[in-house]
Amino acid sequence: MLVSRLFGSLVMLLLPLGVGRPGTCIAPAKVLRGVDVSHYQKQIEWDSVAVREPIDFAFVKATEGQDYVDSLFCRNWDALRKHGIRRGAYHFFRAYGCGQEQARNFLERVEYEPGDIAPVLDIERTDGVDPEVMIHEATIWLQCVEKELGVKPIIYSGFHFYENFLKGHFDHYPLWIARYADEAPLLTSGKRWDFWQYSNEGCLEGISQKVDLNVFPGTTDMMEKLCWYPKPVETAEARVAP
């Protein structure tokens, strides 16, 4: 399969990466592979994907702007849980929209379960809006979602868009970067990425359309740090001072 050939080459690129190089990690003992999908991939046969394709995680488009919901989100979201593929949901940000209303659109549609990957804010266009306004509204989205779920969201963006518009504004958030090239992204700020979308030409059994391919340079335990878990319930006894 094409995904296996691409992934095999990618591992060879990632393994030699050394200490201190921006955007990289130290020779990961394992690299997790994943995809991201939306209604553009049409109805996916997740049972075939789960059996025939060695993927470890999948991101699914949930919402866009202030009121749009991806028509296949619920189907994909439920299927991933059924087949035991670690899942994450993303919101496609529209710079002309209110950040708080966009956050509400996302939060009302996505029901998280323990172990799901943290929410993703996909920022990849200015929509003709002043970049400062875009940054302001995106910050509101991030703050609203983090306050509601208690986990820091992940930023997704293309390499050049991130460098031109986002660099320096969201450095304390995990980063999922898109760059379709033979070399891993090296950000000029020195920030390290957590996920790399390295191709949009993936061909997988069970998915009829080309699909984006991603990697996480680490183990399942390492990915746990980027996942959502409910906060422990504080009991009455715990609140009593000794």
In terms of residue numbers, what domain contains 190?
2-17+31-228
Residue 125 lies in a domain: yes
141-170 residue pLDDT tens: 999 999 999 999 999 999 999 999 999 999
Distance CA 122, CA 197 (A): 12
pTM: 0.86
Residue 50 lies in a domain: yes
Tokens 């899942």, residue located:
87
29-79 residue pLDDT tens: 579 999 999 999 999 999 999 999 889 999 999 999 999 999 999 999 999
Degrees to nearest 5, angle at CA 28 with 25 and 34 = 95
Residue 183, domain CATH: 3.20.20.80
Q: Helices in 19-158 by DSSP H: which ranges?
A: 46-52, 73-82, 99-109, 131-149
Nearest to 121, CA basis, from 154, 78, 158 = 154
Residue 6 lies in a domain: yes
Residue 26 lies in a domain: no
Catalytic site residues? 36, 124
